[in-house]
Amino acid sequence: MNDDKPIQHSLSRREFVQGMTAATLAALASGQPHLLADESLPTPPPTADACILLWMAGGMAAPETFDPKRYTPFEVGVPSEQILCTFPAIDTAVDHIKISQGLENVARVMDRGTLVRSHVVADLGNILHSRHQFHWHTGYVPPQTVAAPHIGSWIARLLGPRNPAIPAFINIGQRLDGVGEAEELKAFTTAGFLGSEFGPFNLPFPNDAIAAVQPPKGMTPGRFANRERFLRKLVDESPAKNLASDYHQESMLRALGNAYRLLSAKERDAFDLTKESPESVEKYNTGRFGLGCLLARRLVESGARFIEVTTEYVPFLHWDTHENGHATLVEMKKQIDRPIAQLVLDLEQRGLLDRTLVIVASEFSRDMMIEGVPGSTASDQSRARTDVMKEMVHYGLHRHFTGSGSVLLFGGGMKRGFLYGETAPERPLLTTKDPVSITDLHATILTAMGISPKASFVVDTGETGLFGGPRVRKDHPRVETYGDVDELNAVIGLARCEPLDAGIDSLLATIQNDLFDLGAQLASPQPDRVGTQRITADHVAALESAIDRHESGLPPLTAFILPGGTRGAALLHLARTVCRRAERRLVALMESEPIASECLIYLNRLSDLLFVLARAANHAGGCEDVLWQSK
């Protein structure tokens, strides 16, 4: 599901939004994506049936959470470069693993999970949270030519729902309107080219989740059914309908049908937090994130497949610490510590942890001094720049760091009490052992869920790849030209299905192979580099010899002739007209791109040969040429 395209480093927020808007439109216009079936790819045995992603949106600093370094307490005058970490380390349930102060509850369940300290993400140049979150959630480096699906949508599409009444992909805690970078967030909170039915069911406020899955108070069954019909009519009349392919229109309607079924299903009680005891709510209730974890537990119990719970990304808030980082993280740890630990314990107590993969992750880490990685061109985005500590606003890790990070995984077949990877003990805090990329992490998640990491889809976006060259539009002059050559080959193949003279049939078989080589040559911007067969002067000479040989046995022409006679002759005349069109296309292409002149000469002589062969086919079949009659 991942791509390996070169990373575009210089991309502004406006360019990102513009690119993602175009990608969304391209996805709507695309047809049904087809899974590339490869019988050689074994399906891994699943170790998890459900996945909960706990997303620390904004860039959780690993040295302040799960990879503590040398601790330096705040003191006026301390050099900034001396500070690696602003919290002391604490012991955990695993002897050789320490984490940061403020995560005491998580420390007590560390023996149930794997801690990865060597997570590395791409240096995308300008640090834009939206770009890095897009990359992490989709596996694709932006910008893309078509909207890429969230990993939750991949899982929803490939595995389907565990319970048909419960959405397979549920997104909890993130507002997609009314916050900064809303459009950028929408760019990856989507099913993209997979279709709306596999997109997230968004619940920004977990304590109000029940309102999203029940009809308004006082709504009668009749009015409820009428409203559903009205909504379908609105979808049908939406301007997006004119932009969307049949597949995506149908996917929108299926998504609407799924939502309608949920509104009348008994399973909707899973969304109602008032069904929990006050004691249970209190264990989780540190705010929206904590209640989101409680809701996630209830939804997994009811059959949800993939759930993301986020601390919510809002620029310069929560984990996005550009100043006053230490004080902010004191509060953030209060929000996440108890709910994460309680979720693990509750799943374990209910016998669900072994089959539920719980992931704690973020788009990148943070550092006191380095923006990006050493040598990065990323601009310094700290709002608390200082050489020495002067006040508490300066105390914290205020720069984005991509050279290392931490990911925590519980349940779902992950090793217990296990530490993977290492980072340097002193700045720069780069990964020094067993790096884990986003691709590696996605492969781990998909494998645990029983999905081959190499699973991929083909999506028709109106582009095609040239042989050994770039992707271009399907109406590109080069594509039009080799398309005509391919059509010519097909018409000759059709003519050969007729009872032609053995000598003519043998000659046409040779020409078909030559045309295949010609098509490959035209499809290659650099045919010498990719090693395609070339049309040469020898090929042209062979055509001229064949013209002379077959024309010598025909009566001389005394008038213009029309296509017709035997069916074989008529098809050869059709091939001649397609050949002429291919020749005209090639003339136009050669105005803008370097093409060997032998290609054009070959098509010109081939059209003459096809004319002669059409006459020869009529002659061999005892049928006279069809003459043009002047008025």
pLDDT in tens, 25-75: 444 445 566 666 555 567 899 999 999 999 999 999 999 999 999 999 999
Confidence of residue 576 (pLDDT cuts 50, 70, 90): very high
Q: Which residues pair with 372 in a beta bridge?
A: 401
Residue-level pLDDT at 572: 97
Contact 360, 54 (CB under 8 A): yes
Rounded to whole angstroms, what are the CA distances from 181 to 184, 246, 309, 382, 537? 5, 31, 18, 19, 60
| Percent above pLDDT 90 for the chain | 67
Q: Provide the angle, in degrees to the nearest 10, between the axes of the packed helices 477-495 and 567-589.
A: 170
Q: Compute φ and ψ for 574, nearest 5 degrees.
A: -60, -40
**How far out from the chain centre does Cα 456 lie?**
10
**Residue entry with tokens 């000479």:** 541
The predicted-structure confidence for 478-492, as pLDDT tens digits, reads as follows 999 999 999 999 999
Residue 357's CB is within 10 A of a number of other CB atoms, namely 25
Distance, CA of 408 to CA of 110 (rounded, Å): 9
The predicted-structure confidence for 167-208, as pLDDT tens digits, reads as follows 999 999 999 988 888 888 888 888 888 888 888 999 999 999
The predicted-structure confidence for 407-444, as pLDDT tens digits, reads as follows 999 999 999 999 999 999 999 999 999 999 999 999 99
- Say whether pLDDT at 114 is over 90: yes
**How far out from the chain centre does Cα 10 lie?**
20
- In 238-324, which ranges are continuous DSSP H helix? 240-243, 246-263, 278-284, 288-302
- Intrachain domains 13-196+222-270+296-458 and 463-627 with the same fold: no
Residue-level pLDDT at 251: 65
Distance, CA of 352 to CA of 620 (rounded, Å): 79
Fold of 463-627: Hypothetical Protein Ta1238; Chain: A; (1.20.1200)
Residue-level pLDDT at 32: 62
Confidence of residue 547 (pLDDT cuts 50, 70, 90): very high
Task: Identify the residue with better confidence: 571 or 191.
Answer: 571
Residue-level pLDDT at 461: 63
Task: Identify the residue with better confidence: 143 or 166.
Answer: 166
- Cα angle for residues 13, 15, 17 (degrees, 5° grid): 70
Residue-level pLDDT at 16: 43
Select from 320, 410, 409 the least CA-distant residue to 366.
320
Distance, CA of 45 to CA of 517 (rounded, Å): 44
**How far out from the chain centre does Cα 578 lie?**
39
Q: Spell out the domain ranges in the chain.
A: 13-196+222-270+296-458, 463-627
- Say whether pLDDT at 257 is over 50: yes
| Percent above pLDDT 70 for the chain | 84
**How far out from the chain centre does Cα 12 lie?**
20
306-310/431-433 β-pairing: unpaired
The chain-wide mean pLDDT, for the chain, equals: 88
What is the dotted CATH code of the domain comprising 13-196+222-270+296-458? 3.40.720
The predicted-structure confidence for 458-475, as pLDDT tens digits, reads as follows 666 667 777 777 778 888
Residue-level pLDDT at 248: 59
Distance, CA of 14 to CA of 560 (rounded, Å): 63
Lowest mean pLDDT among 259-263, 271-275, 344-348, 578-582: 259-263
Specify the DSSP element, H or E, that contains 431.
strand 431-433
Confidence of residue 264 (pLDDT cuts 50, 70, 90): confident
